[in-house]
Amino acid sequence: MPVVYPRKNLTIIESTVARILKKYGLEIPDLWTQPDGLIAEIAKKQVPAALEAALLQAHGGLEENFQSLKAEVITFEPTLKGSLDLARSKMDQQWKFVEKKIRQAAAKRNETAGRQLRKAIDNVYPSQRLQERVFNILPYLVKYGSAFLEKLDQTVDIDEHDHQVLLM
């Protein structure tokens, strides 16, 4: 009768993937979820809620302050109403420009985060399957040489039947 021994479960985490995980505060099991949901969740975190709140507060404060200034100026000199309206429209235009720039920066950050997370997910959980079921050991042997086998021998506990992680 042959000896039945469970198959080893191992995920290899390279340094670039480890940096991505650390940057976004993720653990390996986080990458085993639906990738699009994870990317969307991280993208939301890229634009802080405090920034959105500050934008709204500043715009509201600008409107309130301008209206009180306009009332005082019109009381002082009614002929300046047209100049005030023109100034207000220019301020709105500039405000929209600043908001547009902030949104573009957020989109760029989201794109970068999405690309980085997609790379990590494709490395750790390719095709939504465990790494050991998809990848072959040969690329790691070519990339890291005999040091890979030594680290594999030192790190992996053959008697441990839970999923193990090898940091390269």
Task: Please give the Cα distance from 6 to 4 (Å, whole number).
Answer: 7
Predicted TM-score (pTM) above 0.85: no
Q: Is residue 5 part of a domain?
A: no
Kindly tell me the sign of the dihedral angle through the C-alpha atoms of 138, 139, 140, 143: positive
Whether 146 maps to a domain, the answer reads yes
- In total, how many domains does the chain have? 1
The answer to whether residue 3 sits within a structural domain is no
Angle, vertex CA 6, rays to CA 4 and CA 12, nearest 5: 150
- The domain of 93 spans 10-167
> What is the distance, to the nearest Å, from the Cα of residue 139 to the centroid of all Cα atoms in its chain?
28
pLDDT, average across residues 117-141: 85
Centre a 10 Å sphere on the Cβ of residue 31 and count the other Cβ atoms it contains: 20
Which pLDDT tens digit goes with each residue over 52-111?
Answer: 788 888 878 888 888 888 888 888 888 888 888 888 888 888 888 888 888 778 778 778
